[in-house]
Amino acid sequence: MEFDFGFIALSLLAFIGGFSLLVFVHEWGHYSVGRLFGVRVEVFSIGFGKEIYGYTAKSGTRWRLSAIPLGGYVKFFGDASAASNPGEHVEGLTDEEKKDCLHYKPLWQRALVVAAGPAVNLLLPVLIFAGFTYANGKVFVDADVSFVEEKSAADRAGFQVGDVIIAVNDREISNFTQVRTEILMQPGGPMDFTVQRGTQTILLKAIVDKRFMEDRFGNQYAKGYLGVRPSGTYKVVQYGLFGALAEGARSTGDQIGLMVRNIGQLILGLRSIKEVKGPVGMVQIMGDAASRSFLDWLSIVTVLSLSLGIMNLLPIPVLDGGHLLYYGLEAIKGGPINKKAQEAGFIIGFGLIILLMVVVTLNDLQSLVS
């Protein structure tokens, strides 16, 4: 086996740079809203483990760059750990100290501090997509069929050259990109296509073929395949600032929808857990993108930002979504959740995260070896 050490170095830099940027953005969300509400921040760390470089700001916050670049954290005054669970000493604080402590802030303020991290991760792609759109406009390819592959899913369903696809699964569409996205997300699944054929509107039912896309590292991903091509007729639409922001929000919403559907397909067994990549797989993917262009790398960073935002909102203790779940239960109960129950939840949540990391790392290593 030959190693391209230049590519390995580029991949590591691309991953560490991109992931650290997203961690900073995420933690800055927590930090900025916490400071807005007068919470004292003791540590803002990019990475875990031993401090490589750091300095203490006038506010008392220790800004750290740590040795293990696989995450980061903001430690508020009163936190027992980087997971922001309250420490035992919180109960013995003076009235003056309580003003600086997150755990004595009103419930709505605590919830906003926690939600701010994933919210910023979801906002960043809106701005990036909006920037692309504002600079380049958007290309819309007409959804008219110019080619039907013989013996394909489209051929079996009765597609003909000249058909214009106007709806997929009862969802109206206006361009071929929307059609392609829906098809890719349904490997081996049934789909309904409404087409305009001359003066007639016809419903075509297809069982989409399941094919596998393989990247340069041998990783395989299931995708749907219909077997049609558009004519290639297109138009470029230019947008002003507010129009670009609206398109950025729409594109982000579409991406979130795709990710949620992917998670659902994993749970239902329609997709293999082997498609989920861990740190090694992400190093490969980001290195490959960076070797092509900065914009390709930025596109991967955008998708990763969305993934981090969505993952952190899952109702798993240790993650931000777990904290929000506890706050929701606190609002219903009218008081804090039992500490032992919280601690048990954190232990279970941490165990689930470790289990997931083991599974995806094994996927990465298996792919690397093969």
Say if residues 33 and 27 touch (Cβ distance below 8 Å): no
| Residue-level pLDDT at 216 | 63
- Within-domain flag for 280: no
* Of 339, 358, 359, nearest in space to 347 by CA: 339
| Residue-level pLDDT at 211 | 87
- What is the rounded average pLDDT for all residues in the chain? 87
pLDDT tier for residue 78 given thresholds of 50, 70 and 90 = confident
Q: Which segment of 14-18, 113-117, 289-293, 347-351 scores lowest on mean pLDDT?
A: 347-351
> Which residue, of 203, 237, 271, is where some domain finishes?
237
Specify the pTM.
Answer: 0.81
- Within-domain flag for 306: yes
**DSSP string across 255-322:** HHHHHHHHHHHHHHTSS-GGG---HHHHHHHHHHHHHH-HHHHHHHHHHHHHHHHHHHTSS-TTSHHH
Say if residues 167 and 193 touch (Cβ distance below 8 Å): yes
Say if residues 286 and 15 touch (Cβ distance below 8 Å): yes
Please determine, for residue 278, whether its predicted confidence score (pLDDT) is greater than 50.
yes
Collapse the DSSP code of 251 into the 3-class scheme (helix H, G, I; strand E, B; otherwise coil) and give the result.
helix
Number of domains the chain is built from: 2
Whether 99 and 156 map to the same domain: the answer is no
pLDDT tier for residue 82 given thresholds of 50, 70 and 90 = low
Please determine, for residue 370, whether its predicted confidence score (pLDDT) is greater than 90.
no
Question: Token pair for residue 178?
Answer: 């929307």
222: which strand partners? 212
Please determine, for residue 61, whether its predicted confidence score (pLDDT) is greater than 70.
yes
Measured distance CA(169)–CA(188) in Å, rounded: 15
User: Strands (DSSP E) along 149-199, which ranges?
Assistant: 164-168, 171-172, 190-197
For 219, the domain range is 138-237
Measured distance CA(144)–CA(54) in Å, rounded: 58
Q: 231-266: per-residue pLDDT in tens?
A: 888 889 999 999 999 999 999 998 888 888 888 877
> Which residue, of 177, 204, 237, is where some domain finishes?
237
Among residues 2, 27, 96, 214, the one annotated as catalytic is 27
Q: Which segment of 81-90, 240-249, 349-358 scores lowest on mean pLDDT?
A: 81-90
| Highest mean pLDDT out of 32-36, 281-285, 357-361, 364-368 | 32-36
Question: Cα–chain-centroid distance for residue 311?
Answer: 7
Whether 127 and 151 map to the same domain: the answer is no
| Highest mean pLDDT out of 16-30, 94-108, 208-222 | 16-30
- Within-domain flag for 256: no
Q: Which segment of 144-148, 211-215, 307-311, 315-319 scores lowest on mean pLDDT?
A: 211-215
- The mean pLDDT of 294-307, rounded to a whole number, is 91
Whether 232 and 122 map to the same domain: the answer is no
Whether 145 and 131 map to the same domain: the answer is no
- Within-domain flag for 100: yes
Whether 87 and 107 map to the same domain: the answer is yes
Q: Which segment of 173-177, 297-301, 316-320 scores lowest on mean pLDDT?
A: 316-320
Whether 117 and 167 map to the same domain: the answer is no
> Which residue, of 221, 237, 253, is where some domain finishes?
237
- Within-domain flag for 314: yes
Whether 186 and 223 map to the same domain: the answer is yes
The CATH number for 174's domain is 2.30.42.10
Active site residue 27: yes
Cβ neighbours of residue 266 closer than 8 Å, sequence gap 6 or more? 273, 275, 276
| Residue-level pLDDT at 162 | 92
Whether 83 and 13 map to the same domain: the answer is yes
Whether 188 and 211 map to the same domain: the answer is yes
- The mean pLDDT of 49-65, rounded to a whole number, is 92
- The mean pLDDT of 105-124, rounded to a whole number, is 94
Question: Token pair for residue 60?
Answer: 């008392």
- Within-domain flag for 76: yes
Whether 307 and 223 map to the same domain: the answer is no
Pairing of strands 145-148, 234-237: unpaired
Whether 73 and 150 map to the same domain: the answer is no
Whether 79 and 151 map to the same domain: the answer is no
- Within-domain flag for 242: no
- Within-domain flag for 349: yes
Q: 164-175: per-residue pLDDT in tens?
A: 999 999 889 889
Q: 329-343: per-residue pLDDT in tens?
A: 889 988 877 777 777
